[in-house]
Amino acid sequence: MLPIIETIPLRQMASGDILSLQVYKFTGVNTGKKVYIQSNLHGAEIAGNAVIYQLVEFLLTVDATDLVGEIWLVPVCNPMGTNERAHNFASGRYCVYEAKDWNRIFWDYEKEADDLTAFAKSQFPLNIEVVRQNYLTIIKKEFAKLLEKINCSSCVPYTQKFRYILQSLSLDADYLIDLHSSSNQGLNYLYYFYNREESAKLFWLDFGILLNEYDGDAFDEAFIKPWLALEKCLQQLGRDIQFEIEAWTLELGTGMQIIPDAVMEGVRGVKNYLISKGVLRNTGLLLEEQKNRKMFFKNRSDVRKYYAPAGGMIQSRIKLGSLVKTGDRIYQIICFNKSGNLPKVIDIFAEVDGLVYDTSINQSVNEGEFVIGII
């Protein structure tokens, strides 16, 4: 099966050059779910590009009759982030001009949905699929206003044009997968949303973090929050409903690196998810026995991040993937001074038990810089 390949102009630079997106659209013979997969929203988080490359290669071998619905893939989905450098480092986590995290800029309908209860009441007796269509229609109508603003004489800051284009591709998806990694050094895991634990297991990753707290305006959040809000609203009215709408952020290892194991887990997870969801059929892939597979779940609010209480050099840091106990020494700082004294070493201890899931890529710290994340 060959994809339709669409190239979408994204930004005209001062030099007249144009940066674009390219979408690979695989469409099955039978209609079904729309799956949207992107990678590299943060410049340093590149492993997902290799995952998408392998998924494209794989889908080329799949027969169109075995794809139910459609799969859209957008690798290198943020050229401004991907191409940015500071010396040899991939510094593209933030929009340099606006100082915004590229993954905290998205349009979240929930924030505008003042009359959600009224809407929920009006939809109360309707079939879930009709509710879904009605709600999506409203979301799309509000979303269209963003384009009006873009087309004004006063226009909008780039991040607002960028979000418009990415979200216009994914707004009507059923399943949305955003492939990230740590911008530092991280494990393979995923972020998931309320009530989606069972689906989370389909990715066969070791653990998942529930976004029980939001950062605000992240790509996955902005997509699913309006649906979760409507579910909650209907539930409060007495109707238990769950839309077959899911959003996932997969974290695949370490920044600036394409770790083979992380790529393998990403590809395996996405394939298994798509097969389990019935999007792909007869792939010849044997689904591994999952019943005995253990997945470990935690809440975002359980994360404890450690910042350096002094400037200096980090050493003897506990390894990524370790389990720590409260009171364990988790790292040291060699602390230099300019006041005529000998350098000294400071010990830092764990405040809570947990798993080391993220460590700073840089072992030199100014006071207040990130060192280690434990969950």
167 part of the interface to a copy of itself, by CB under 8 A: no
Please pick, from the candidates 1, 68, 256, 295, the single residue that binds a copy of itself as defined by CB under 8 A.
256
Please pick, from the candidates 170, 188, 257, 272, the single residue that binds a copy of itself as defined by CB under 8 A.
257
209 part of the interface to a copy of itself, by CB under 8 A: no
303 part of the interface to a copy of itself, by CB under 8 A: no
Burial 242-280 (b: 16+ CB within 10 A, else e): ebebbbbbbbbbbbbbbeeebbebbbbbbbbbbbebebb
- Asked if 145 and 216 touch (Cβ cutoff 8 Å), the reply is no
3-state DSSP assignment of residue 366? coil
List the x/- string, 122-151, binding to a copy of itself by CB under 8 A.
------------------------------
Residue closer to a copy of itself, measured from CB, 133 or 362: 362
Query: What phi and psi, each to the nearest 5 degrees, are found at residue 349?
Result: -115, 155
97 part of the interface to a copy of itself, by CB under 8 A: yes
Please pick, from the candidates 32, 68, 91, 194, the single residue that binds a copy of itself as defined by CB under 8 A.
91
For 136, counting Cβ atoms within 10 Å of its Cβ (0-12 exposed, 13-18 middle, 19+ buried), the class is: middle
Q: How far is the CB of 6 from a copy of itself (least distance, A)?
A: 8
Please pick, from the candidates 199, 216, 242, 311, the single residue that binds a copy of itself as defined by CB under 8 A.
311
Q: How far apart are CA 372 and CA 357, in angstroms?
A: 8
Residue closer to a copy of itself, measured from CB, 123 or 181: 181
Q: Which range, of 63-71, 88-96, 140-148, 190-198, touches a copy of itself by CB under 8 A?
A: 88-96
- Asked if 264 and 194 touch (Cβ cutoff 8 Å), the reply is no
252 part of the interface to a copy of itself, by CB under 8 A: no
Q: Which range, of 40-48, 225-233, 237-245, 280-288, touches a copy of itself by CB under 8 A?
A: 40-48
166 part of the interface to a copy of itself, by CB under 8 A: no
Q: How far is the CB of 25 from a copy of itself (least distance, A)?
A: 12
Q: How far is the CB of 294 from a copy of itself (least distance, A)?
A: 28
The two three-digit tokens of residue 73, written as one number: 């893939």
79 part of the interface to a copy of itself, by CB under 8 A: yes
List the x/- string, 317-336, binding to a copy of itself by CB under 8 A.
-----------------xxx
Please pick, from the candidates 82, 123, 249, 272, the single residue that binds a copy of itself as defined by CB under 8 A.
82
DSSP string for 284-326: -PPPPP-TT---EEEEGGG-EEEE-SS-EEEESPPPTT-EE-T
199 part of the interface to a copy of itself, by CB under 8 A: no
Evaluated on CA atoms 350, 354, 355, 359, the torsion sign reads negative
17 part of the interface to a copy of itself, by CB under 8 A: yes
Please pick, from the candidates 28, 43, 69, 253, the single residue that binds a copy of itself as defined by CB under 8 A.
43
- Residue in 114, 82, 108 with CA at minimum distance from that of residue 95: 82
Residues in contact with 166: Cβ distance below 8 Å, sequence separation at least 6, in sequence order: 21, 38, 74, 77, 106, 219
Q: Which range, of 166-174, 229-237, 271-279, 355-363, touches a copy of itself by CB under 8 A?
A: 355-363
Q: Are strands 354-359 and 68-74 parallel, antiparallel or unpaired?
A: unpaired
Q: How far is the CB of 281 from a copy of itself (least distance, A)?
A: 23
DSSP structure class, residue 21? E
Helix (H) and strand (E) counts in the chain: 8, 20
Amino acid occupying residue 10 = L
Please pick, from the candidates 25, 66, 161, 199, the single residue that binds a copy of itself as defined by CB under 8 A.
161
Residues linked to residue 4 through DSSP beta bridges, in sequence order: 25
Chain residues 265-294 in contact with a copy of itself, contact rule CB under 8 A: none
61 part of the interface to a copy of itself, by CB under 8 A: no
83 part of the interface to a copy of itself, by CB under 8 A: yes
